[in-house]
Chain A
Amino acid sequence: MDRYSPVAPSHVRVLVLPVGRVDRTRFVHFLTRLQKEAAFVQLADLPSDEDANARLSTLSPKTFPNGSILFNYSTVDQIDQHHQLSPFELFREPLLVLGVAHLDGVTPEDAEKELKEATQYLRERHPRVVHRQLLALNEPASESNVHHGNVISIAEPFRDGDGALKKAVHELASRFLAELATYTKAMQASPSIQTPGQTSRSLQTQPVREKSRQIGAGLPSGRHTPSGSEVSSPTSDNSPSRPPSRGFGSPPPATSFNQMQHVTSASGGLGRSDSRASSKSQSENRAETQDRVSVQGFGSNTSQEKARNRGKARVGIVIGHIHLMAGQWNEALRILIEHTTRSRALADHLWHAKGMEGICNCLLLIAWAGLEFLIPSLLLQSDRTNTSGHRKRDSQNGETPARKFANILPEVFKSIMNLYLAGDGSLELPPVIISEAAIRFSKTLAIIRRYNGQLHGTSLAHIVQDKIIPANGSGDDLSISLISRSAVADMLSLAQPVSDDTLTLADHISILAGISSVYSILQMNRKKAITVRAMVAKLTAALNRARKLGAAEMGIHPAASLSAETGAGTILAVVEESGGINDLISQIIDIYGAEMMSPLPPTSHTPAPKDLSHGSTSEVHFGNDALKESIMRDMVAFCEASPDPYGVLRLTASLLKSARPCAAVDTEPEFSNSPIEEQEHLRLAAIISRTIGVSKTLGLPDVQATYWDPFLVRGIEFKPAKATQKVILRSKLKTAVPSADDRIPGNPLLYDPNTSRPGTAITPEKLLLVAAESVECTIELQNPFDMPVEIERMVLVAEGTEFATSYRPCTLGPRRIQRIPLSVSPDNVGESRITGCRIKIFGCHEQIFYIVEKPWTDRPTLLVKDHGQNGRRPIKGVRGSGITYPETSQIAAKIIGKQPILVFESVSLLESSLMLLEGESQCFGITLRNTSSITASVFEAVGTKNVLGLADEMASPVNIAPGETATLKFEAVGTAGVSEIQADFYYCSTADGANTSEYVRMLSVPLNLTVNAALRFQHFDVLPTDSSATFMLCFDIGNAWPKPLTYSCEVASAEKPEADDDDFCTENGTLGPGEVARVHVKIKRWSSLADCDKKEVCRQLADHLRVSWTCENRTGEMDLSNMSLPTEAIALVQGPPVQVDLHILSMAKQKSSTRSFAGAKIGSFMTVRANLTNRITTPTSPLFIQLHTRTADGALYNDRHIAVAGAQHRILPPLDGWCKDKIVDFVTCPLMAGVVELKVTVTPIGTASAPSGSWVSADSLMINVE
């Protein structure tokens, strides 16, 4: 039962106390059962006790079976001050005391004794209560149990929903009613009842200003109440030592007319002008109140009579309330109406108001029970005095009483409130009464308003039973509801406690809680928040004070908020029980627009990447930063005082989160203004570490915060693997030369407008990792805060595989983006995506952070559609416009099976370097070792081109078992200018198959090579020979070696001129150190020469010429490939494009090597045939061919020696490319004996492309004419 239930005045307060030894949990369980199952007792259910029935004629349950008794079970006795309000507000006093005894395993004798003692004890401790009752809990229905005196025993007390409890409570209720009847009789006998809130003694302790207000009342007690024997309750202790009433909580005076209005309106309505006094200044106040008192005294000569009547009315109102409690609602209504009317007539305002409240309560309960009722004119009259407009409308509509009642309730409550506030003359009610009444009234109105201003089943159930039924959609239909929220809020604001010194802390906090609950019914979140904040601040102060006092008593310095003496058990209990508090804190913080971190450790659920921005796009821009910070500080203080280390951590982390703009920061040092100064970061961090430290020493488990920056991980970068560990795709083996700085290809353009087009983006290459092999990577972390962050553990998070990570703890410095190295090795084979990093930060839960590479910050949405607190929630359909989310990136990786690793073991050389003379070659072996756990298969070994190569072609892959070695033979050739050579071994695992494996590895073994020059070539030149088929190469050859060298130049056999005996074909010699010789070599042109460019000519020439040397035990062959020839020489080497070959048909050559023919007879005809060959691919221009004849001495051309038939020259059509054997015949006839030389020359006929005479090709032969 709620203290602020709208029908609280009809509650019967039951104090439930444990008797003897009762287990705490059992007791609590039983109490909950009572509260749940036995709070409402229908009178009809009560057992008919004939004996009792006779005794209580007025309160017999049979007279009004529809009624109910509302029990309010509680375990705490209200503080004394509440008891003093008792006859005025009877429901504050416990009327019934229940002793709960658990007689389990106790012998009947002991039990009886115990119960007897308990009865005695209860009687002593609670003499004032109406009825004391012992309840014995017989757990396993042990029938043997005692029926001692009036003990009610309950079987199966701990089984929920068991009927025995109800039965017992029925019996209890029936006994209680019997006692209550006695009490009523006693009450009826008393002539009057004192109104609470009156001080008669110890004025000295009052503050000065209160004193002044109470001057009038400060006269002998009973001035305003009838003199004579005052009985406040039958068992009254007649307290002369009653402490001074604290309650003079009146509305704020002097400067505010707001409250004054209430006073004036109330008193105006009742024809009392004198109570305006409260607003006057001190002196006036004093004078006037005194005046008024005297006036009152003289006003009526029947004052004694009036006082007695007042007293009677008051007693009647209390009796009415007793009936109300006893469930006799009809009777109560009758009594209340009668006496309230009387009190009203007698201008006993406070009791008039009290009676009206009781009537309202009666009507509410009667309506709840579903009975017919009529609204008493008393309420209507009070209504009429204020607003006649309402009445008219009501009568016009002809509404049901319930509806009418709901409509007049606001006005009735208002007038009751005004009466309460006005007080009785200078007598004012204690603030507790006023505040609670205001809360009750506003709660009633708020509930009615919630149900569209109607009093029907659901709304009444909510009012009476506190059963909350979810309101239907049209909860805010203003057209139906006559009660405006602001009106309710106005009434509620009267409940706001304005002074501390007159309210106990417990009351103050409780009232604030009541106010906030009504605000929450009204859905006025902000109002609720400010109330709760005040409440929490009060609680914090109270807790701290209590701790200090406690600590001082224990002799402990109270400095530490979470002192070790509190004990882990206590703290855990606090934490366990503060679930509701935590919800409340979250709610309040949410109302102010701040965001709480999730209390759950975030590893337990994997948040979607979108959640990164959770509470950071539009939500972050909600509310006032100063308020957010302030409220969070308050809450932190509260959690520290509680003490709730979990709450402290959660809130501090949330505060830190809000301390920075929620952003993945840019590297530019442009931090926007932060709501919290930098020093504060350190302070908050200190709170966190201190809390964790203390919790650890206390042994509290798992006191950890949630890290406050979701954008911690800004990038993960894998270092390119070392060359020896790099895995190469076999398909790329030939095309790409692997190198260490082989990066993922990026777009070379700084700005590429096409990148955004679909399909054009460069997909980054997949990261290739090898299972169970560790790789270095760096993780980029951001820390925009001003404090260092200690990172304890980091693990990569990937889909598809786990990463074994080795990591050294390190510290992330303040305000920076830092790269932290990490070495990871994947466990499984397959495709994988690295999505983030699981990081354990000191004092925080281990959390998964996604990779946010691009800088991102939240932008406030420009769309302003939300209204009020709705801005906290996204609007359907509007969300997403203009809101960007941070992009998380992933790293795609492919993890392949284990790969072997070979290392270079040794080389079979004395030193690891070679010394060679130019052209010399040497063999050596390179030994490799397999350091991995699987067999490697070397399928290819390549050396530096032209310098190093395998000595023998590799026939089959060389397998190397784990741990074993293998040696491969290499041969190196001394080449000028080469100082470093390397041997590359390509290998893969045998498991994959040497020829089929997709991935291979490469091992490079670098070696040093020193090459000394042996022979030196200089001054290359080419001379023409007499034949167009050959040319002469000549060059200087020098010895650069300090020892004599024997050299040998040789033309490759195929291109040797036909004559073997020609001296120029080979050239040998010995050169002393530094000696130079000129060498001439005659070389026949080869076919592919004419078409080549200059370099190619040199290269081919070097191929055809072999120059070898010998020196002691060294031999070598020189490489002429870098020889350079002048352009003319090249032309000479190449020769003319058309080769002409001259011979005589039907005549044999004299010697194959010469070009002379013999046997030609004078006068005989012979055919000289010129054979033309186009040696180039392109067609020639038209050719001009001419035959020249000469005598042997070559001096003269003479027709007498030889005659030529026809012309000695011809013009030939162009020759096609590669055209061979174009034959031109000249018929000649020698006329004289001797030697005749015949010569043909071929030149192109000038065209645009080839000018005439650009080249001449010639051939000649000698004829010996006999």
Chain B
Amino acid sequence: MSYYFTIIGTRDNPLFEIDFGTHKLGGDGVARFRDEAKHMNQFIVHAALDMVEEAQWMGKDLYLRRVDTFQNNHVHCFLTGGNVKFMLLMNPDPTASSYASYRSPPPSRPSTARQSASMLAANPSSQATEDAVRQFMLEVYEAWLKCIMNPFYQVNNVVTSPIFRGRVATAAKKYL
């Protein structure tokens, strides 16, 4: 289970990027995207912005739930008031998701079946997943608000604060 979290500014520009793995079920919190996938993640998230723009007018909630699916990746989005998008891409088994030949054999870990049942991305539209992602997003949003209150931060600038990064990582550890 690997996650790629990015914050997209108003001009499709990434402000923050982090990838991490799950901490649940004995996960070590390390993302296991393949090199190719790391590259593709940005593209997938970029393409999902189209869906965000569609979904954002549908409700009044800032959290837009799952907005897009691309092959085996699910993208959840949280839209701030300033039109900054928090995009969380989750891939249940990145080692298995090849973009060139998608259907490679499933992973051979014996406990996969049991684990994946409780994994979030294995069931991306389930209420449990949505709740966890929502909580994660809200916590990041709080950290984000504090971060952009920095008078030296200008809109649409890249966030380099290590504290913010740490907070995102903590939130990820807590919920995902």
Residues of A near any B CB (own CB < 8 A):
208-209, 252-258, 281, 478, 484-486, 489, 493, 496, 498-501, 519, 524-527, 529-530, 533, 592-593, 618, 621-624, 626-627, 630, 860, 862, 864, 866-869, 871
Contact with A along B45-88 (1 / 0, CB 8 A): 01111110111011000000001011110000000001100000
Contacts of A626 in B (CB 8 A): 14, 42
30 contacting pairs across A/B (C-beta < 8 A): A209-B105, A254-B106, A256-B92, A257-B124, A257-B125, A485-B54, A486-B51, A486-B55, A486-B67, A489-B50, A493-B70, A500-B100, A519-B50, A525-B50, A527-B51, A529-B46, A530-B44, A593-B11, A618-B11, A621-B11, A621-B13, A622-B12, A623-B11, A624-B46, A627-B43, A630-B42, A866-B10, A866-B11, A868-B49, A871-B10
Chain B residue with the shortest CB-CB distance to A253: B103
Measured CB to CB, the closest approach of chain A to B124, in angstroms, equals 7
Contacts of A622 in B (CB 8 A): 11-13
With the chains together, A785 CA to B150 CA distance in Å? 34
Which of A208, A478, A499, A862 contacts B57, CB < 8 Å? A478
Q: Which of A253, A255, A530 has the most CB of B within 10 A?
A: A255
Measured CB to CB, the closest approach of chain B to A265, in angstroms, equals 13
With the chains together, A493 CA to B74 CA distance in Å? 13
Q: Are B54 and A486 in contact (CB under 8 A)?
A: yes
Q: Is B93 positioned at the interface, with any CB of A under 8 Å from its CB?
A: yes
Q: Are B46 and A627 in contact (CB under 8 A)?
A: yes
Contacts of B69 in A (CB 8 A): 258, 493
Q: Are B154 and A252 in contact (CB under 8 A)?
A: no
Which of A281, A489, A592, A618 contacts B46, CB < 8 Å? A592
Measured CB to CB, the closest approach of chain A to B89, in angstroms, equals 13
With the chains together, A215 CA to B106 CA distance in Å? 19
With the chains together, A622 CA to B57 CA distance in Å? 23
Contacts of A253 in B (CB 8 A): 103
Contacts of B96 in A (CB 8 A): 255
Q: Which of B11, B67, B93, B155 has the most CB of A within 10 A?
A: B11
Measured CB to CB, the closest approach of chain B to A453, in angstroms, equals 15
Contacts of B71 in A (CB 8 A): 252, 496, 498
Q: Are A255 and B44 in contact (CB under 8 A)?
A: no
Contact with A along B134-176 (1 / 0, CB 8 A): 0000000000000000000011110000000000000000000
Q: Are B155 and A864 in contact (CB under 8 A)?
A: yes
With the chains together, A484 CA to B39 CA distance in Å? 30
With the chains together, A258 CA to B92 CA distance in Å? 13
A255-B122, A256-B92 are known; give 18 further A-B pairs, CB within 8 A: A254-B106, A257-B124, A258-B124, A499-B101, A500-B100, A500-B102, A524-B51, A526-B50, A530-B43, A621-B13, A624-B12, A624-B13, A624-B46, A630-B42, A860-B154, A866-B11, A868-B53, A871-B11
Q: Are A257 and B123 in contact (CB under 8 A)?
A: yes
Q: Which of B10, B69, B71 has the most CB of A within 10 A?
A: B10
The 7 closest A-B pairs by CB, nearest first: A524-B50, A530-B47, A622-B11, A871-B11, A526-B50, A623-B12, A485-B54
Measured CB to CB, the closest approach of chain B to A145, in angstroms, equals 56
Measured CB to CB, the closest approach of chain A to B49, in angstroms, equals 5
Contacts of B82 in A (CB 8 A): 864
Contact with A along B98-137 (1 / 0, CB 8 A): 0011110110000001001000001111000000000000
With the chains together, A1165 CA to B72 CA distance in Å? 147
Q: Are A627 and B102 in contact (CB under 8 A)?
A: no
Measured CB to CB, the closest approach of chain B to A427, in angstroms, equals 18
Chain B residue with the shortest CB-CB distance to A502: B103
With the chains together, A253 CA to B122 CA distance in Å? 11
Q: Are B154 and A862 in contact (CB under 8 A)?
A: yes
Chain B: interface secondary structure? Answer: loop
Q: Are B43 and A533 in contact (CB under 8 A)?
A: yes
Contacts of B102 in A (CB 8 A): 252, 498-500
Q: Are A867 and B39 in contact (CB under 8 A)?
A: no
Q: Are B49 and A501 in contact (CB under 8 A)?
A: no
State whether A623 and B106 are in contact (beta carbons under 8 Å apart), knowing that A252-B71, A864-B82 are contacts in the complex: no
Q: Are A630 and B39 in contact (CB under 8 A)?
A: yes
With the chains together, A618 CA to B70 CA distance in Å? 30
Q: Are A498 and B103 in contact (CB under 8 A)?
A: yes
Contacts of A209 in B (CB 8 A): 103, 105
Chain B residue with the shortest CB-CB distance to A478: B57
With the chains together, A592 CA to B45 CA distance in Å? 12
State whether A864 and B10 are in contact (beta carbons under 8 Å apart), knowing that A255-B96, A624-B46 are contacts in the complex: yes
With the chains together, A938 CA to B117 CA distance in Å? 105
Contacts of B106 in A (CB 8 A): 254-255
Measured CB to CB, the closest approach of chain B to A941, in angstroms, equals 69
Contact with A along B9-31 (1 / 0, CB 8 A): 01111100000000000000000
Contacts of A255 in B (CB 8 A): 72, 92-93, 96, 106, 116, 122
Measured CB to CB, the closest approach of chain B to A521, in angstroms, equals 13
Measured CB to CB, the closest approach of chain A to B75, in angstroms, equals 12
Measured CB to CB, the closest approach of chain A to B175, in angstroms, equals 21
With the chains together, A69 CA to B53 CA distance in Å? 41
Measured CB to CB, the closest approach of chain B to A242, in angstroms, equals 24
With the chains together, A256 CA to B50 CA distance in Å? 22
With the chains together, A501 CA to B57 CA distance in Å? 39
With the chains together, A515 CA to B116 CA distance in Å? 32
With the chains together, A871 CA to B51 CA distance in Å? 17
Q: Which of B70, B103, B113 has the most CB of A within 10 A?
A: B103
Measured CB to CB, the closest approach of chain A to B35, in angstroms, equals 13
Contacts of A258 in B (CB 8 A): 69, 124-125
Q: Are A526 and B122 in contact (CB under 8 A)?
A: no
Measured CB to CB, the closest approach of chain B to A1243, in angstroms, equals 85
State whether A862 and B11 are in contact (beta carbons under 8 Å apart), knowing that A526-B49, A527-B47 are contacts in the complex: no
Measured CB to CB, the closest approach of chain B to A879, in angstroms, equals 14
Which of B47, B57, B103, B124 contacts A526, CB < 8 Å? B47
With the chains together, A255 CA to B39 CA distance in Å? 22
Q: Are B14 and A624 in contact (CB under 8 A)?
A: yes
Q: Are A257 and B51 in contact (CB under 8 A)?
A: no
With the chains together, A356 CA to B7 CA distance in Å? 44
Which of B13, B53, B101 contacts A867, CB < 8 Å? B53
With the chains together, A860 CA to B96 CA distance in Å? 40
Measured CB to CB, the closest approach of chain A to B173, in angstroms, equals 23
With the chains together, A573 CA to B157 CA distance in Å? 46
With the chains together, A627 CA to B43 CA distance in Å? 7
Contacts of A627 in B (CB 8 A): 42-43, 46
Q: Are B103 and A499 in contact (CB under 8 A)?
A: yes
With the chains together, A592 CA to B14 CA distance in Å? 12
Contacts of A868 in B (CB 8 A): 12, 49, 53
With the chains together, A630 CA to B124 CA distance in Å? 29
Contacts of A524 in B (CB 8 A): 50-51, 54
Q: Are A489 and B13 in contact (CB under 8 A)?
A: no
Contacts of A527 in B (CB 8 A): 47, 50-51
Q: Are A489 and B51 in contact (CB under 8 A)?
A: yes
Measured CB to CB, the closest approach of chain A to B19, in angstroms, equals 14
Chain B residue with the shortest CB-CB distance to A487: B54
Q: Are B12 and A593 in contact (CB under 8 A)?
A: yes
Q: Are A526 and B46 in contact (CB under 8 A)?
A: yes
Measured CB to CB, the closest approach of chain A to B36, in angstroms, equals 11
Contacts of A530 in B (CB 8 A): 43-44, 46-47, 70
With the chains together, A868 CA to B57 CA distance in Å? 13
With the chains together, A1100 CA to B55 CA distance in Å? 102
Contacts of B50 in A (CB 8 A): 489, 519, 524-527
Q: Which of A486, A493, A501 has the most CB of B within 10 A?
A: A486
State whether A256 and B42 are in contact (beta carbons under 8 Å apart), knowing that A862-B155, A868-B49 are contacts in the complex: no
Contacts of B53 in A (CB 8 A): 867-868
Contacts of A254 in B (CB 8 A): 106
Measured CB to CB, the closest approach of chain A to B112, in angstroms, equals 9
Q: Are B72 and A252 in contact (CB under 8 A)?
A: yes
With the chains together, A527 CA to B58 CA distance in Å? 19
Contacts of A493 in B (CB 8 A): 69-70
Contacts of A867 in B (CB 8 A): 10, 53, 83
